[in-house]
A and B are shown apart, each in its own frame.
Chain A
Amino acid sequence: MSNPSKPAPPAGAGAPPEPSGALAVRIHEKLFRAADGGLVRAIENLAFEAPKHGFTALIGPSGCGKTTTLRILLGLDADYRGEVRLPEPEGRVAAVFQEPRLLPWRDVETNVRLALPLELKGANLDALFAELGLDAMRTRFPGELSLGLARRAALARAFATEPSLLLLDEPFVSLDEMTASRLRALLVSVWSARPTTALMVTHNLREAVELADRIVFLTPRPGRLRGVVDLDRPRESRDAVWREATLRTIDDAYPGIL
């Protein structure tokens, strides 16, 4: 543990630092084999917690291991040293990837329903589709959707599974600002109605200040913990003035991110 600016809990070996229900990440080392055969250290001693039913943002420069961390949490990469404790060991994990990753040959509703676990098959999804503005899109194929709508379908798929952990990998990247901010508002309202532990990777500090209860900062590669900022203010009272002031405070403590 190198330089957490906020006093992190003592790194006791294995002792859970947060009450159970939180997401605890402790990656000692993650190596990648580069194309030339050499080993690249992507993550080194990265440890942080995401509180239960909180919204945590993970921010860091390109290549610092943010997406790698998500892949480890998703169980898509088991080749690392360290341990990860999910909010519920047997709970469901949902992901919203950078690309919508919808099956192009199935319509929107089928795409969502295919992700549902057995006990939720046949669930009524009307409310979720309505909230996300996808009512008229249920029988469309993904190729007929704009990127913004496809992202909404990916959000619908994630929330429909009622996950105990929701992982988002820059879900608003390459959208125009208007579409992105509308989608952020949608995410907040859908997430508030269905509380779940959320962890979002982003490089957009403004987005994090708008959405997150906790922001975790990573160093450049190899990714280490740079610091943690908790934002206690309720989301609905985060007006433009507060957001600007918070951005400035954070920028002073962690320069180079804005």
Chain B
Amino acid sequence: MGVALRMADTEPLLSLENVTLRYGQGASAVTAVEDVSVDLAAGDRLVLLGPSGCGKSSLLRAVGGFQPVDAGAIRLRGAPVGRPGPDRMAVFQEFDQLLPWRTVLGNVRYALQRGRGLDRAAAEARARDWIGRVGLARVMDAHPHTLSGGMKQRVAIARAFALEPDLLLMDEPFAALDALTRRQMQDELLSLCEQTGATVLFVTHAIDEAVRVGTHVLTLSPHPGRMAGLAAIPAAARQRGTAAFAQLEATLQAGLLATEAHTEEGARRHG
């Protein structure tokens, strides 16, 4: 049984049970993630935090169905996750996740038509609504290559939210943005999540981002990725500049440093 983020007598929305992920075959196989167990209830925003090489993105891709699970199980509403599908919409770090040949409106509308089976008119209405909600109504008919990085990520976020998935998967969506835009996007994402009650799995290596957007933070240690700590983020600590925010940041930072020191020590011992 996974570690529940809170005491709940209902079935978890997403449950990871002793999940292990490997790359490669046989003797040359590398373990990316080992024995991760955690449960998410609806409305939880779990941040996977860790240094590069801790397998956090691999874990997210496995939940998305983009990567096979080597041991353990990933269940969504009790059923093992299969191929990628619109019930788990992903937002990636790379800016090239939008279809360059479709406009902003076209990108979101197409996703709604194909992913949700809406007819053109219904899809267009919902697409317009969501593009407006991320503040891009004035570039509705622009092609992605004319947009800034932040705007492209907003379109991808609008697309993901518009499909109303069971679970939103965010793989460092703001990592390639400048610091100011990144903060702004974190705030906007937080408010969208609070409005919709979306359940989110969010991958990042930035501690302040984890405290800002998550309800819970799962810290992973690298090589292979193992669970190093699970912390709840109280709503009061989510406000930047508060003492609680700074304290949580410091605690998580210390936790991360400890995992790295631990791994280095381990590497020395084994090497």
Partners in one complex: no
Q: Could you list which residues of chain A lie within 8 angstroms of chain B, going by C-beta atoms? A: none
B residues engaging A (CB < 8 A)?
A: none
